[in-house]
Amino acid sequence: MSLYSILLWILPTLISAQQPQYPPAFPPTPILPSSINYAPSVTPSVLDSSAPDAQKQCPGYQASNVVETTNGLTADLAIAGKPCNVYGNDIQDLALSVQYQSKDRLAVRIHPRYLAPNNQSLYILSEHLTPLPKVENASSKADSDLRFTWTNNPSFQFRVSRVTSGEILFDTYGSVVVFEDQFLELATSMVPDYNIYGLAENFHSFRLGNNYTQTFWNAYNLDNDQEFDVNGHSTHPMYLETRYGNGSSSSHGVYARNAHGQDWLLRSERLTYRTIGGSFDFYFINGPTPKNVISQYQTGIVRTPVMQPYWALGFHQVRWSYQNWTRIPLDLQDVIDAYAAGGIQLEGIWNDLDYLKMNRDFTLSPHYPEDEGQEFLRKLHAAGQYYMPILDPNIYVPDPTNASDAYSTYDRGVELNAFIRNGNNSYYYGVEWPGFSVWPDFNVPEGQQFWTEQFIEFQKTIQFDGFWLDVSDPTSWCTGSCGQGQLPLNPIHVPFPLPGDPNTDLAVDYRYPEAFNVTNATEAASASAAMASQMSMYPTPTVTPTPTAGRTLPTPGIRNLTFPPYAINNFLPGHSLLRQVIAPNATHNDGPYNSTEYELHNLYGHTSANATYNALAATFPGKRPFFIARSTFAGSGNFTGHWGKKLLRKLKINISANHLVGGDSNSKWGNMYYGITQALQFSIAGIPYFGVETCGFNGNADMELCTRWMQLSAWYPLYRNHNNRNTIAQEAYRWATTAEATRRVMNIRYSLLPYQYTLFYYANQAGSTVLRALAWEFPDDPQLRGVETQFMLGPSLLITPVLVPLVTTVQGVFPGVASGTRWYDWYSLQEIQAAPGENKTLSAPLEHINIHVKGGSIIPMQKAGNTTSASRKNPWSLLVALDKNGAATGSLYLDDGISLVQNATKIVQFKYSNGTLSAKASGSYNDGIPLANITIAGIKTRPTSVTITSNGSKRNSRNVTLNRKDDALYASNIQGATSGGAWRGNLVVRFK
């Protein structure tokens, strides 16, 4: 009897439509030994008690030849004593540049004085990789609200302060500047109990705290992706700091433009910045509000987020294990039909690796035949839906001894010399999903040409609408360039078991969320027994210990790229920079620089995403490219979105207290909880198009968790359900309760698409945020500084999700009530009565998520259709929520939703006061859709009639009906008075 049969016999409750779903068997291939992925271990310097303290051993620098200008100063910095050479070779002569780049931005740069092509890329981050801010509009010191001061006593130190308040924002006094070829260090004194946010990507509380180390070395951990408090898939070395006092607050930002491996040490009195290369390239952002900081960072430094196509805001479904286009079981069409039968919107269907021929990019599996796929996609597109397959930026290397293993994609890359090299004329051969692979070099034009050509050719085979760019960290599951001499083994299996692999303890995943043993006791006991049986039959092999590399010492004239003297706190097993990545000594093709992965590792996801955007733009001329990227860097939001991955943490749940303490695997309550903090991090980072693996990727979701998660994720811009192939199915229609809750919340989401799309417009134009922390909307309330269980969508909607199991209530705060802010329940439109600072208990039955509307808001809506395109054809409605003065404002942005350059757009500004609603329109875009309904919450008067004027002409309003319930007024049947397009001109509606 097979393992699968045994396990199903043990666990009969899983023999259903939701049992683990396996793709067609991968052809028999050799399995690489696990030892190929071993790497020597190192001790991170922050954990090494014997590591030298650069602040105590290094002499710092002395400034001379200071030249002041109207917009800054320059100076020479010379080492102030005997070189310390603690973690590298001291650079003895440096150059300082200070620029007042705008009223609210100051740049401080320190780099080696003598640079040449052969060392340029070691220290200077090229402008073609990520934006390099410059002086704006003849800015000057006299106009700036930031001030740079410095001293040479006892060595060069500097401060950045705010002119208007005198507040010191960044203060290196009392510390030394350390600048070596493989180690830089700079420390700033911090105010007591400081509040820092950002430094994405991390899995941590929203407020980072004062005893935390943030490491930047983009990584993918097979065993535990990702752990708490460790480096993740992205590098965004920027933080926002907020300080409270005397009933107000002030915020500022700091961005360190450096892509090397880094440690940021947040300690009680000091923040220490360390990096293993590059230069000091700091940008100080004035604020003084949190939203100002975020906007100034995006508009002035990394550029604003890309404008997503309208359909990107729909709901998307993917699973690793959909086996074919239309032939049951487990085909894409079956999933699409099931969503339709369940009355649940579905915008896009996505494919994981299953559609590829043996995981090779730009191919089709025999189970996904081309002719069947083209017909499937023709019908999908006719229904207004979209298709996004996975894409990994690595290219399979065919067996050179087997002519039948030919792979034209690889051959074309060789012709263009488009792949990263192994420090010589050979290519760097690592291991990825298809076997031994190479990686496109997106740092040179040939890499872009190769990528674009493949997109255009593959579109002729399968009419995809976008991609999701996975494993772009970049990851390789072997140490060094391991393929030389072994390419005839291809295709090979990666050197570890995959989920669903037979005869492994990953054959079936039996993990369930917290409290499953309470709600499903019999199934939980069966799952526990089955898991124990599976693991006893196929125990996890013992990992062979790897040798430990002692701390390396600096060698004059030599940089140790694989084991630098300073070891960053890389969380991967063994902590080495070699672990599960393209090795740091791999070389790019950008002669004369010959940059290495040591400099560019954290940029690979960024450059591959930029290349993907350009390739999609060439494939779909005139249309906005759509894709999401796994690995990002500062500025990636200008062309891509991002999804949160698999947070795992050893945590516990306190059910009775209605308070989350955590969860311990992917389909767990703790994972859902920390998705909120991730989303807020990426709002700071300038990547608002963010979402998570709804219902979890690893482990089995249950009905309650998936229901609550579908409700929560409905408020993330990226709304996508995705899970693993060795777990039960978790599409939203699988449980009746989940389906009903999803229908309710998704109808709300789709009705609010115009509001959310408008938020993206302002993000693109002005660096505004889409998802917002309460502390950003109400910046003067210190009680909100750590709130991470609630958030806002734009300025108007407050979301209070349930984040723990077995409860039917949730607690939330209502900010601003002390100063008169009004809040209304979304469903009843009744005003909430809450005391200032009260953590109010709200009813939250399983099919309900709490939504509240802020007084003073006007929200444009359209009735939800089954797709975004159908929704856009429905009549308009307006929700007016009055503030304490009986007034409200709002806005609406309109365009065609898909063109890269618009032929016509429209902005509508709404205002309500004294019984009059006005809509002032500018722009030539007209959708021809009337306004059908206006709802006013919090109204005290009782109007009995309505007059409607459009462009100065009175319209027939005899059919308009007015109904009142409590303090809400409902005006309907307005469409006759607004035919031809509600916003084709200025509109005035008077209630008397």
Q: 3-state SS of 445-492?
A: HHHHHHHHHHHHHHHHHCCCCCEEECCCCCCCCCCCCCCCCCHHHCCC
Q: What is the pLDDT of residue 557?
A: 86
Percent of the chain at pLDDT above 90?
86
Which CATH code for domain 760-991? 2.60.40.1180
Read off the DSSP letter of residue 324: B
pLDDT in tens, 201-249: 998 999 999 999 999 999 987 765 557 888 889 999 999 999 999 999 9
Q: What is the pLDDT of residue 646?
A: 52
SS3 681: helix
- Per residue, the 3-state secondary structure of 899-920, as one string, reads ECCCCCCEEEEEEEECCEEEEE
Mean predicted lDDT score pLDDT of the chain? 93
Rounded Cα distance between 961 and 958, Å, is 8
Averaged pLDDT for residues 876-898: 98
Averaged pLDDT for residues 27-32: 81
- The half-sphere exposure of 246 on its side-chain side, counting CA atoms within 13 A, is 1
Q: What is the pLDDT of residue 328?
A: 75
Query: Among 6-10, 21-25, 965-969, which is the least confidently predicted range?
Result: 6-10
pLDDT in tens, 404-462: 999 999 999 999 999 999 987 799 999 999 999 999 999 999 999 999 999 999 999 99
Identity of the residue numbered 409: T
Burial class (CB in 10 A: 0-12, 13-18, 19+), 805: buried
Q: What is the pLDDT of residue 3?
A: 37
Averaged pLDDT for residues 281-291: 98
Paired tokens of 920: 């002032």
Paired tokens of 546: 């790897």
Q: What is the pLDDT of residue 676?
A: 97
Q: What is the pLDDT of residue 18?
A: 57
Q: What is the pLDDT of residue 810?
A: 98
pLDDT in tens, 554-576: 999 899 999 999 999 999 889 99
Q: What is the pLDDT of residue 604?
A: 98
Rounded Cα distance between 694 and 714, Å, is 9
Whether the bond between 836 and the residue before it is cis, its omega within 30 degrees of 0, is no
Q: What is the pLDDT of residue 663?
A: 27
pLDDT in tens, 628-667: 999 999 999 999 999 986 543 333 333 333 333 222 348 9
Q: What is the pLDDT of residue 544?
A: 64
- The half-sphere exposure of 635 on its side-chain side, counting CA atoms within 13 A, is 24
User: Class assignment of domain 65-301?
Assistant: mainly beta
Q: Could you tell me the pTM of the whole model?
A: 0.96
Rounded Cα distance between 787 and 773, Å, is 8
Averaged pLDDT for residues 896-912: 98
Rounded Cα distance between 676 and 691, Å, is 9
Tell me: pLDDT of 327 over 70: yes
Name the residue among 609, 626, 307, 625 with its Cα closest to residue 451.
609
Q: What is the pLDDT of residue 682?
A: 98
Averaged pLDDT for residues 954-969: 95
Tell me: pLDDT of 541 over 80: no
Tell me: pLDDT of 16 over 70: no
Name the residue among 688, 679, 730, 687 with its Cα closest to residue 709.
730
| Fold equal for 65-301 and 760-991 | yes
Read off the DSSP letter of residue 426: S
Averaged pLDDT for residues 541-549: 71
Q: What is the pLDDT of residue 225?
A: 52
Q: What is the pLDDT of residue 664?
A: 31
Percent of the chain at pLDDT above 70?
94
Burial class (CB in 10 A: 0-12, 13-18, 19+), 210: middle
Burial class (CB in 10 A: 0-12, 13-18, 19+), 752: buried
The domain segmentation of the chain, as residue ranges, is 65-301, 760-991
Tell me: pLDDT of 9 over 50: no
Exposure class string for 830-864: b at 16+ Cβ within 10 A, else e = ebbebeeeeebebebebbbbbbbbbbbbbbbbbbb
Residue 4: pLDDT band (50, 70, 90) is: very low
Spatial neighbors of 841 by CB under 8 A, at least 6 apart, are 809, 810, 811
Tell me: pLDDT of 608 over 50: yes
Rounded Cα distance between 148 and 102, Å, is 13
Q: What is the pLDDT of residue 62?
A: 98
pLDDT in tens, 587-598: 999 988 889 999
pLDDT in tens, 246-260: 999 999 999 999 999
Find the helix or strand (DSSP H, E) in which 415 lies.
Answer: helix 408-416
Identity of the residue numbered 673: Y
CB count in 10 Å sphere of residue 986: 16
